Amino acid sequence: MRISAIAGCEVSLNRYNPRRDENEPEIIEALRKEGVFVERLSGARVPDLLCCHKGLLFLVEVKMPDGRLTKAQRDFSEDIFEHNIPAYICTQAYSVPTLIKFAEIHYAQVDIKTLQLQPYSD
């Protein structure tokens, strides 16, 4: 969104305008086909997508297959996991069903009363 300012200058209200990965649209489409609510995020540390599937909240960082996380993104992932919100990296649309399964497994291991992760057992 742009607004006009004094002397005809334009000021952007967007504080951060990230470059989006080329594979992001197809990953968003695959998530939505699986019934996932998807919202694009923008910020220096935050992942690209906020997702919710059947009440399960998770974050997705979209990367090209050869992409790497920045230090800020790694730090955010560790910080948010301490609050029991999983964040995943997705490079291909075909991996979306697996990503959703990881979110389901993550939340299945949570004791809702104490919000503590429980050891996984077979």
- Residues 51-62 have pLDDT tens digits of 999 999 999 999
Can you tell me the mean pLDDT for 88-99?
94
Between 105 and 10, the more confident residue is: 105
Specify the pLDDT at position 87. Answer: 93
Alpha carbon distances (Å) from 66 to 3, 59, 69: 38, 20, 10
Contact 24, 47 (CB under 8 A): no
Contact 43, 16 (CB under 8 A): yes
Which domains, from first to last, does the chain contain?
A: 23-117 (3.40.1350.10)
Reported pTM: 0.75
The 10 Å Cβ neighbour count of residue 8 is 6
Axis-axis angle for helices 96-108, 24-33 (nearest 10)? 60
Specify the pLDDT at position 1. Answer: 37
